[in-house]
Structure formats: C-alpha cells, structure tokens
A and B are shown apart, each in its own frame.
Chain A
Amino acid sequence: MTLFLQTTLNGLMLGGIYALAAVGFSLIFGVIGIVNLTHGVFVIGGAYLALLFFSEFGLDPLISMLPVAVLMFGVGWLYQRTIIDWAISRASVEASLVVTFGMAMILRNLLQLWFGPDVQTITPFYSFFSVSFGPFRVDLVRLVALGASMVLLLGLTLVLARTHFGRAMRAVAQQPLAAALSGLNVKSIHAMTFGISAALAGASGAIIGIVQPFSAATEVAWTLNAFIVVVLGGVGSPAGALVGGLLLGLINSYTAQYFGPAFTQAAMFLVLVLMLLVRPTGILGNAYGETR
C-alpha cells in the first residue's frame, strides 16, 4: 500500500508540472481554436530566461518567474499580432498549424544558436533536498513546482472568472462575432490570450528548469505533453489542464512502477488514442465549445 501511495504521490508531483506547462496551450486552443505548435518553444524559452536571471543576477527561478512571464507575455502578444494574425487573415485558422510548426523549427534553432546545444540546468540551493511525510518522500523542487503550478492555475481561474478581461476572453471564445458586435476588440483579446499563454508557458519553463535538464531540442516534448494533457482534460480551462496534467502524471507514474518505465510513452499514447475515440472533448469537455 505504501508503494502505491508513494507512486500516486510521484504521479501527482509530475502531473502538476504537466498541468502548468499545458494550460497556455489549452487556453489558445479554447479561445482562438489554434493548435499552437510553438508552445514548447515558449516553455523552453522561459527556462532559458530563468537560467539567465539565475546565472547573471543570482535570481531564484521562483522569483524570476515574474519577469520571465512579463517578457514572454510581450513575445506572445507580438507573435499573435504579427505572424499568427497575418496567417489567419490571409489563409485560415488551419493554416496556423503549419505556420506555428514552421516557427517552432525556426525558433528552436535560434535558441540553439544563442544558448548552444549543451544541456542546461538551474540549480538553486534547494535542488538536492527532499521532504518526508512519514514513509513518503518527495523531491523539494517537485513539491515547489506543484505549489507554484497550483498558485498560477488558481490565479488564471480567478482572472477568467472574476475580471472584465476574463469575461471578455470567454465571450470571444464563445461567440467571436457577437463579442465584436458588443464592442469588444476581438483582435486585441486574441493577442492578449496569446500573451497570457506565453507568460504561463514561460513561468512553467522557469520551474521546469529547476526540475530537470533542458535544451532547445526538448521543446518538442513539451508541445506533445501539452497536446496530450488537453485531450485528456478538456480544452480552454485551467481546471481541464489540471485534470489532464494530473492524469498524465499518474499514468506515467503507475506505468513506470507496475509495467516498467520503458512503457510510459506507449501508455500515454494509448490513453490519448482511447480518449480521442471515447470522449474526444476530454474529461471536462470544451469550456466554450457547447455555446459556439
């Protein structure tokens, strides 16, 4: 029983990181309908920025999450107002899939040019500590990562539910035309959505940087993880990302413990396929889809 509970705990820790890394992807998919294949670059871009703050100014990644998020917000906003908007207005929403794929390749290589191909890690003083709860043990960095994920996801939930901007974003997601007729600037809200998504991805990157090694090449895995999380949990809401992320973490952990670590990716993709067959909208469904 102890082993099962420890495995569950490990899965939840991992899931918290998956959830935070995926929520931005989910938001863009839900609000604008774009599968943003540049998402992983935003995550790893955040990790590199946090590394810069850490190595140049000694700033802990948990603190540098804030400036990283601000910088990445600007990047995301600009990205939508230029490349994405041009692609959508001149072709279609579907065209953005190809555009974001191409941009991901370009940006990945740019990251590699700037930062080199070497594996990087951020190592604050608490990197090597663990916390024990009776017979259970958890890496401190993973516990911190889970806590930070929860805080950021809660913050996003409050923004979406309680603020004028959140209501405007939901309105645009549900009925863009009606929202525009009501006086909302849809283009601006699309850009803000991209900005917030990139900010959350960047913040998650800062956390990922302290949890595991990263390089520009690892961005692909984070886009893929985000995609699986959204399919599992549902589109457009922090709750969906959280459910999907935790589920993915648990699948990963149980498979590694009871079937062998070699089967974790196979299990993840098996569940992905089953989910697409049985409930393509994910466990919590599309937060905005039914009203469209």
Chain B
Amino acid sequence: MQRRNILKAGAAFAALATLPRIAAAQDNTITFGGSVPMTGKAAETGLNVLRGYECAAKFVNEEMGGVEIGGTKYKIALNLFDDASDPTRASTLIQRQVDEGVGFFLGSFGSAIVLPTCAITEAAGRIMVQAGGGSDQIFTQGRKRVFGIFPRASRQFVSSVNMFNALDPAVKTVSIIYTNDPFSKFQADGAVASLKEAGIEVLDAIALPAEVSDVTNVLSSIRERTPDVLVCTTHDDTSILIARQMISSDTNVKMLYQTLGPQTEAYFKALGKYANDVVTQTYWDEAANTSGDYFGSAADFATYYRANFDRELTYHMASGAVCILSYLEAARAAGTLDLDPVRDALAALDFKSFYGQVRFTEDGDGDPGLLGPMLMQRQEGAMKIVAPEANASAKPVYPAPNWRDRT
C-alpha cells in the first residue's frame, strides 16, 4: 500500500513537471514562443510581423513597466526563432517549444506555416494568437485555442464587393488571378462567392503555380475578355510581376486590385508612377480613427513605432502588436496566466485598441465586421483609404486611366 502511494506521488510529480511553463515565476516574465520567417520567401512580411511583436513587447516593458495580471506585474519576453519560411522547420521549432513547456504562442506569417504549427499547439493544449494565417482551414477544423486577428480568407472580400457596388459606373465583371496556396486560393474562392452573391459576373478565375516567372499568356486571356476589375489574390513578388507585365503589354482594366503587394515600398519602387490608382487591402492605417489602452491612438502607435524601429511601417506591424495586446487583455480579464481561463477570456475578448475593436468569432478568426479589410488606393504617390466610406480619406479613382496616361 505504501509502495502504491509512492508510485502515485511519483506519477503526480512527473505529470506536474510536464505542465506548460506559462510564466517564469521567479522573474515575473511572460514568455511568448513561436517562429517567424526572418529569412526565405516570406521574410519581407515575416519581418514586418516580427517588428510588430517587438514593438508591443518594448512598449509594455519600457513605457508601462510591465502589465498587472492577478495582482502581479509581469514583463514580456519573446522567444521567437527563424523558420526560414519553411513549414517543416517551423513545425520542428514549435514542437520543441511545446516540449519545453511554452504555453503562449505567437504566429508565423503565411497560412502554409501557420496551419501545421497551430495544429501542434492545439494538440498540446497551448494557445496561439496569430496575424499571419488567414486560410479557412485554420479556423474550420474545430480548433479551440487558435485565434487570428484577420477574418478567415473567404470572409475577407465583403467590404470589396460593397465598394464595387458603390462605384459609378457599378462594377459588372471581375476576373481573378490567384496562386495555388492555402491563403490565396481560399481568398479567391471567398471572392468568387461574395461576387456571385452580389450579382457581379466572374469572367475568369485563373490559378498560377507557386513560382511564377511569366504571366504573358494569362494577360492575353485577360485582354480577350477584359473585366471591369482584375483582382489578384497573389503575394508581393507575383503582384509586381503581374503589374509590370500588364503595363508593358498595355493590358488595361478599369481597376487593378491586388490584395498583397501594393502596400509595400518594394512595389512602389518597382512601378513608380504606375503604382498610382492600384487598389489594395489594409487591415489598419495610422489615419484610422481608432484608439484604446496601451499605445493610445493609431497615430500614436505609428509615432512610437517610427521612433524605435527603422523598417517601413505597414499594417503587419500593427496586427502583430495587437496579438500580444490581445493576450494581455485576456490574461488581465482572467486574472491569471493559466491556459484554460486565458483561452476562455480570448474567446470572449471585446476590447478597444489602436487597431480597432478586437473580437473573435466562435471559430477564432477575426470578426469580419470589425477586423475586415479597408481598401486603399495610391493616389498621386500617397496611400488613401477609399472604402468603407466611414473611414475613407479619398474617393476611389474609377475608372483608372490607362497605363500610358498615368502621371
């Protein structure tokens, strides 16, 4: 009997040892684990998200002196590794951190990486809040501990369709170009569904391979059946390639709308004046009328970021930062750093921030009504918000002038 008690005690001790180390109690630090593409194909945006994480951590630690949770003040530490834009490497890194007992994870960038890594954290009962994966698969496979700042890809096109309907003349036909990856394809599928529901005809939905070096033939098809709007749910480099070849082949549409690419400095450098009038999405803008605890307003966040970081500010920094703020708000509401209460608090989260009102759907993705994209258009070299009308800083230029006439 005594031996059995010893065995029970031993088993209980072993089980305790494997419990997640959520916060290092000795130095009152909350450690966030995860991986980010610091090198490789997705590094350009991956570094943007990383700077967002770093910005939030720096602000909380240095400006606020930490955050109080359940009567104890905690500082933040980031334990993020370079996954080299490689899902396999990212999975190995996340599994290792899970084994080490990390409880709170921040996401990588790109659905192809977030998908396998969030499966690991979910299976281990850990939490992930991420601003890098929008694929529907992340949110529709019954996970309870994965939260995304962005709405799932298939719900990201509602505001775009609203703008198309509001344009004069209204948009009647759209063609879509997408790449065969989990994010791009789901976003294109969502766009097709939203457009059809709104009665807008989809002329073509053209899939590109992951590596693209030429779209001449695709553009021949576009010229043969010219849509009012050409939507590209492609990544940065492919968006630049498509735009360049559209210009040189004089393929004109009333609106070129590329979901990723035109936000970046690289796009503007590559296209110069031709970047004008191209429409894109943004999930945050420093001119937005949003504010909350922590940084203050959107403009305050931009000021703080620029004072401390060199990398050009894009919405990815803001969405990265708000991942950490969401964790902190949830932990404050729960009054503890235990996983289950924090998870429940995240699911119930509804707070105002510099990023806007943060609330997740039952499936964990961002509420499309609150966290859906705004539409931006570069006008005379400056990015302007053109939809939704409530946040707009300019009216959309539509129809856009032909490439040869752009100034």
Contact = CB atoms under 8 A, between A and B. Distances in A.
Interface string B226-257: 00000000001100110011011110000000
Nearest to B215: A261
A80 interface: no
A129 B217 contact: no
Contacts of B40: 112, 117, 217
A121 B39 contact: no
Contacts of A263: 209
B163 to A, nearest CB: 27
B270 A123 contact: yes
B220 A6 contact: yes
Interface stretch (A95-103, A137-145, A152-160): A137-145
A289 interface: no
A261 B269 contact: no
Interface stretch (B14-22, B41-49, B168-176, B374-382): B41-49
Contacts of A130: 248-250
Interface residues of B, number: 44
B211 A217 contact: no
A140 B216 CA distance: 13
Given A118-B266, A137-B249, A217-B85, A14 B214 contact: yes
Nearest to A6: B220
B213 A212 contact: yes
A127 B270 CA distance: 10
Given A213-B237, A217-B40, A253-B217, A140 B248 contact: yes
Interface in A1-21: 3, 6-7, 10, 13-14, 17
A216 B44 CA distance: 11
B265 to A, nearest CB: 8
B297 to A, nearest CB: 29
B240 A118 contact: no
B207 interface: yes
Please classify the interface of chain B as helix (H, G, I), strand (E, B), loop, or mixed, using the class held by over half of its residues: helix
A221 interface: yes
Among B218, B265, B270, B272, max chain A CB count under 10 A is at: B270
A119 interface: yes
Nearest to B84: A109
Say which size band chain A's interface belongs to. Answer: 35 or more
Nearest to B218: A261
B241 to A, nearest CB: 5
A188 interface: no
B403 interface: yes
Contact of A118 (B44, B180, B217): B44
Nearest to B404: A128
B217 A256 contact: yes
Nearest to B271: A123
A252 interface: yes
B209 A128 contact: no
B237 A119 contact: yes
B407 interface: no
B247 to A, nearest CB: 4
A261 B208 CA distance: 5
A265 B214 contact: no
Given A130-B248, A137-B249, A262-B208, 19 more contacts: A10-B216, A14-B213, A118-B265, A119-B270, A121-B266, A123-B270, A128-B247, A128-B274, A130-B250, A140-B248, A212-B213, A217-B40, A217-B85, A218-B237, A221-B211, A221-B213, A252-B214, A256-B217, A262-B209
Interface of A: 3, 6-7, 10, 13-14, 17, 109, 112, 116-121, 123, 127-130, 137, 139-141, 212-213, 215-218, 221, 252-253, 256-257, 260-265
26 contacts: A7-B220, A10-B217, A13-B216, A14-B213, A14-B214, A117-B46, A119-B270, A123-B271, A128-B244, A139-B249, A212-B213, A213-B237, A213-B240, A215-B41, A215-B44, A217-B40, A217-B41, A253-B214, A261-B207, A261-B208, A261-B215, A261-B217, A261-B218, A262-B207, A262-B209, A263-B209
